[in-house]
């Protein structure tokens, strides 16, 4: 396992800026979908869980990993589905190309 590196702080800070610049432009109506979307994305901890569940590091890590995979998967699946459901409401059938 690699140690903590200084450059990762750059990554964190820059990603924070990206998040900030993006979120401030999301219109208020989309705040609920946004919350649900970031919620789904935060299930990225699945990535850590997968390693834990599959690395065969012993019973405890595997069990904890399994629970973590399950929890995170609930989040991913449910989160993206519901975000999509919400966003579907903003599609107007007769809207066509009227709006840019």
Partner 1 sequence: MSPRTVFIEAAYLLASILFILGLRSLTIPDRARRGMQLAALGMLVAIVGTLVNHEIVRYEWIIAGLVVGSVIGYPLGVYVPMTAMPQRIAISHMFGAVAATLVGVAEYWHLGNGAEVSRPVMAALGFEVLFGALTITGSFMAFGKLQELLPSRPVTFKGQNLVSVGMFAVAAALFAWLIADPAHPGAFYAMVALGLVFGVSLVLPIGGADMPVVISLLNSYAGLASAATGFAIGNNVLIIAGALDGASGFILSIIMSRAMNRSFANVLFGAFGAAPEASQKTAQGLPVHAITPEDAAIQLAYARLVIVVPGYGMAVAQAQHQVRELAALIEKNGGTVLYAIHPVAGRMPGHMNVLLAEADIPYEKLKEMDEINDEFKNADVALVIGANDVVNPAARTDKGSPIYGMPILNVDEAKQVIVLKRSMNPGFAGIENELFYRENTAMLFGDAKASLAKLVHEIKQA
Residues 31-50 that bind partner 1 (CB under 8 A): 31-50
User: Cα(96)–Cα(2) distance, rounded to whole angstroms?
Assistant: 51
Q: In angstroms, what is the minimal distance from the CB of 12 to partner 1?
A: 5
Span 4-33, contacts to its own copies by CB under 8 A: 5, 7-8, 10-11, 14-15, 17-18, 21-22, 25
Residue-by-residue DSSP string for 31-96: HHHHHHHHHHHHGGGHHHHHHHHHS---HHHHHHHHHHHHHHHHHHHHHHHHHHHHHHTT--GGGT
84 binds its own copies (CB under 8 A): no
User: Cα(89)–Cα(69) distance, rounded to whole angstroms?
Assistant: 31
Span 51-70, contacts to partner 1 by CB under 8 A: 51-58, 60-62, 64-70
Q: How many residues bind partner 1 (CB under 8 A)?
A: 94
51 binds its own copies (CB under 8 A): no
């Amino acid at each position: 396992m690699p140690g903590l590196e200084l450059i990762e702080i750059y990554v964190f800070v820059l990603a924070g800026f990206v998040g900030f610049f993006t979120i401030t432009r999301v219109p208020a109506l989309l705040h609920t979908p946004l919350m649900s979307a970031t919620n789904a994305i935060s299930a990225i901890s699945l990535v850590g869980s997968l390693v834990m569940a599959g690395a065969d590091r012993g019973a405890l890590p595997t069990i904890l990993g399994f629970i973590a995979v399950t929890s995170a998967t609930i989040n991913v699946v449910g989160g993206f589905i519901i975000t999509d459901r919400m966003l579907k409401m903003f599609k107007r059938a007769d809207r066509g190309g009227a709006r840019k």
